[in-house]
Structure 1
Amino acid sequence: MPRSTIRGELADFYHRLLGWPIVDVGPKGGWAQLQPPEDETGPTINIEEDRAHRRPIWPSQPGHQTATMHLDIGVDDLDAAVTWAIEAGATQSEHQPQQNVRVMLDPHGHPFCLS
């Protein structure tokens, strides 16, 4: 499958993080779709390339790019999930507003929560 660098990085990251297969890639690799494995249920994740993308600031600040998506991912072991996410390529946000939730950032700065 042809892969653009920007879109491919995120699709590969979410594939590693969730273990979901990349089931489709658009013409010239401009978008990709991930779906849960056949034995699981859940939404699909569609990733589109935006060459004008600016890394969002989280938490939001006036005058700066804000997050354009947010995923909440339920986990059984929060500490293990944080370790796994970092190994997959995420970083932990400095701002953590809740005790039992960890805000993580994907490689392009989109926040997602592990809880």
Structure 2
Amino acid sequence: MTDAAETAPTATLKMTTLDAGDVGAEATFWAGLLGWEVAHQQEEYAMLTGPSGAPALGIGLVADHRPPSWPDVGGRKQFHLDLACEDIAATEEHALGLGATLADPQPGETWRVLVSPAGHPFCLTDAANW
């Protein structure tokens, strides 16, 4: 490592914020799927706290929100979340019950791709692989 890299300022990722057309629906979905608390919610914004009690996921209102595509069409998918779970099938069923939809196509046998109510794709993966 160079001296410049050693003295360069760094940033710490504290929270990821997802855009949504309906903040309440998206916050309720992620809180239910992750088992996290909704610490703050208003029409324009919601914040969920993670297991440590620190802010971990934000939901921000974008009135003309256009969800990302799956698979990526036209460069609209910027990122997606990978969620480790003990039982992929049971977690998929739970997510569908909370309002997720199953993405089409599916990329393989070891991952399940779903889409949140606001259209954000996410993957369910086997926790043992992490």
TM range (shorter): 0.7 to 0.9
Q: Quote the Cα distance in structure 1 between the aligned partners of 2:43 and 2:119.
A: 21
The equivalent position to 2:40 in structure 1, one of 24, 27, 34, is 24
The equivalent position to 1:103 in structure 2, one of 113, 116, 121, is 113
State the identity %: 35
Read off the aligned partner of 2:84 and give its amino acid letter: G
Map Cα deviations across residues 21-46 of structure 1 (whole Å, 9 max, x no partner): 11123xx53111101244x8x87001
Q: Quote the Cα distance in structure 2 between the aligned partners of 1:43 and 1:105.
A: 23
Larger strand fraction of residues? 2
Give the structure-1-normalised TM-score. Answer: 0.80
Indicate whether 1:52 and 2:64 are aligned: yes
Map of 1:90 onto structure 2: 100
Map of 2:49 onto structure 1: 35
- Structure 1 runs of 4+ aligned residues shifted over 4 Å read none
Give the structure-2-normalised TM-score. Answer: 0.72
Q: Quote the Cα distance in structure 1 between the aligned partners of 2:40 and 2:51.
A: 14
**Number of matched pairs:** 105
Which ranges of structure 2 fall in alignment gaps of 5 or more residues? 1-20, 126-130
* CA RMSD, Structure 1 to Structure 2 (Å): 2.1
